[in-house]
Each structure stands twice: as C-alpha cells, then as structure tokens.
C-alpha cells in the first residue's frame, strides 16, 4: 500500500471501455491515480504490480470474471486486504451473495450513480476523503454536461466497430460474440445519459436466453439501438448556420 503522502491508487477492472474511461475521468478529478484493465487475468497482474488502495471490479468479464478474480486475490497475501467494490449491471440476489461470499466489501449496480459511488468510496477509504481531495470543491452543472458529452463522443468513436461485430455475429449466429458486445453496450447506456440503450440491451439478452433464438427480433432491437446512436451523433455534430 502507498504511504500517506502518496496518491490513492484505484484499480478499475471492467470489460466496458466506456466504464473504464468514465471512472478514470471521475477519479482523476479527485487527484487519484487510476489504473484500468479489461479482464480478471490482467486485473490480478495489475493488482500485484501497483498494490492499489481500492479495486472496482465488474462481475461479468471475458477470460476471468469478477468473482473468480476476487477469489484469487483473496488467496494472495499481498492483495487479500485490498478492499473491493463490485460494480455490475446484474445485481441479482444470487450475484450479490456470490460476490460477498468471495470477499467483496460492497456491491453497487450500474449505471453508476455519482452520489452513491462517492459515499461508498468514502466509507471504505475512511471519512470524506473524496471531498477533501477534490481539486475543485464546487461541482458545476456545466462540468457534468461537459463530461457527459466527452463520454458520448468516446462511445460514438468506438461504436462503428461494435456495430459491425453485431451485424457479423447476427449473420453467423455467433452467440458468444454477440453476448459479449451487447453486455458492454448495456453498461454504456445509462453512463452516457441514454438509458433506452440499456433497456434495449436487457430486452435483447432476454431474447437471447430463449430457445430457439429469435434472431429476427434481435436484429430489430439492434436497429433501434443503431437509431439512437445515430441520433447521438447528430446531436454531437457541429451545427452550421
């Protein structure tokens, strides 16, 4: 662990590039050091290397999921006392119990709410640490709007690759690839201020769980997501006189 004069180090482990990006922006604003990675295997390596003060960990990830990563780090002497906050879009009773049994200190749901995140981190770090270390003690509404636009731009810039992967996986009926992409998109909707994207993704996941899979219905719901993304692009585009 770092000494008192060092920055607080936060490790964010999540397969969503948008969640990693948004949490990095959030914690950097409080002058924390932020390390990010996208799966549990890399997360263990980063934890060993950086010895973070706190780990924020997604439940559902490729290669090694959140619960399995948590089980591993609790067996490593130099990591086992690092507090862990589980962040997940699926905080069912079963998932929450699995996370707590594996050693999680807290479980909070996506989309992440700033007030709850601040409260949870402060409780774990002790006192009002975030408030005391924030560079600016006044949060302007315009700042929140600027951050949201940044996240929207970040989401839009990476979406064409995701869209093509969605279309390819529907055409080939590749369930595993499709589920991975939709899971990531599901966690992005609320973060960028478009909860309908999350709602549609949840509907798609429910359709995917049926047998046989209704790929036509899934394609139509994906088209609805594409239309929302197109609307976001339009709203972000420079307006000409």
Tell me, what CATH number does 126's domain have?
3.40.50.2300
Instruction: Look up residue 8 and give its two tokens.
Output: 């607080």
Using the 3D structure, point to which of 138, 170, 185 is the last residue of a domain.
138
Percent pLDDT > 70 in the chain is: 89
pLDDT at residue number 180: 87
Are 179 and 115 within one domain? no
Which helix (DSSP H) or strand (DSSP E) does residue 115 occupy?
helix 114-125
In this structure, is residue 3 part of a structural domain? no
Q: pLDDT, tens digit, for every residue of 165-188?
A: 999 999 999 998 999 899 889 878
Q: What is the mean pLDDT of residues 70-95?
A: 88
Q: Which domain holds residue 164?
A: 142-236
pLDDT at residue number 19: 87
| Contact yes or no for 38/61 (Cβ under 8 A) | yes
Tell me the pLDDT of the chain averaged across its residues: 86
Q: What is the mean pLDDT of residues 43-70?
A: 90
Identify how many contiguous H helices and E strands the chain contains and give both numbers: 10, 5
Are 134 and 165 within one domain? no
Look up the pTM and report it: 0.74
Residues facing 108 on adjacent strands: 87
Confidence grade of residue 239 (pLDDT, cut at 50, 70, 90) = low
Number of domains in the chain: 2
pLDDT at residue number 200: 95
Q: What is the mean pLDDT of residues 48-69?
A: 89
Using the 3D structure, point to which of 85, 111, 138 is the last residue of a domain.
138
pLDDT at residue number 148: 80
Using the 3D structure, point to which of 116, 138, 160 is the last residue of a domain.
138
Q: Is pLDDT above 60 for 97?
A: yes
Q: How far is CA 178 from CA 37, 205, 215, in A?
A: 21, 10, 11
Q: pLDDT, tens digit, for every residue of 2-25?
A: 445 578 999 999 988 888 988 998
Q: What are phi and psi of 201, to 5 degrees?
A: -65, -40
| Contact yes or no for 100/73 (Cβ under 8 A) | no
In this structure, is residue 165 part of a structural domain? yes
- Residue 15 or 216, more confident: 216
- How far apart, in whole angstroms, are the C-alpha atoms of residue 38 and residue 69? 12
Are 15 and 101 within one domain? yes
Are 69 and 117 within one domain? yes
- The residue with tokens 């951050």 is 147
Q: Is pLDDT above 60 for 221?
A: yes
In this structure, is residue 2 part of a structural domain? no
Q: Is pLDDT above 60 for 152?
A: yes
Q: What is the mean pLDDT of residues 41-45?
A: 93
Are 36 and 132 within one domain? yes
Q: pLDDT, tens digit, for every residue of 108-150?
A: 887 788 888 889 999 998 876 676 555 443 334 445 677 788 8
């Amino acid at each position: 662990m770092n000494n008192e004069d060092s920055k607080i180090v936060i490790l964010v482990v999540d397969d969503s590039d948008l969640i990693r990006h948004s949490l990095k922006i959030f914690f950097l604003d409080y002058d924390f050091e932020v390390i990010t990675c996208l799966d549990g295997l890399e997360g263990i390596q980063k934890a060993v290397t950086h010895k973070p003060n706190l780990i924020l960990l997604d439940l559902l990830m490729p290669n090694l999921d959140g619960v399995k990563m948590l089980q591993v780090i609790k067996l490593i002497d130099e990591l086992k006392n690092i507090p862990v906050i589980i962040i997940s879009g699926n905080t069912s009773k079963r998932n929450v119990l699995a996370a707590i049994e594996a050693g999680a200190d807290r479980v909070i749901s996506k989309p992440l709410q700033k007030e709850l995140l601040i409260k949870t981190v402060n409780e774990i770090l002790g006192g009002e640490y975030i408030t005391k270390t924030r560079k600016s003690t006044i949060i302007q509404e315009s700042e929140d709007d600027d951050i949201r636009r940044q996240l929207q731009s970040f989401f839009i810039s990476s979406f064409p690759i995701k869209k093509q992967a969605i279309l390819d996986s529907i055409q080939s009926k590749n369930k595993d690839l499709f589920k991975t992409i939709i899971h990531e998109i599901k966690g992005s909707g609320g973060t960028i201020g478009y909860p309908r994207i999350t709602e549609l993704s949840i509907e798609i996941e429910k359709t995917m769980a049926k047998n046989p899979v209704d790929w036509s219905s899934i394609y139509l719901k994906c088209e609805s997501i594409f239309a929302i993304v197109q609307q976001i692009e339009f709203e972000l585009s420079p307006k000409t006189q």
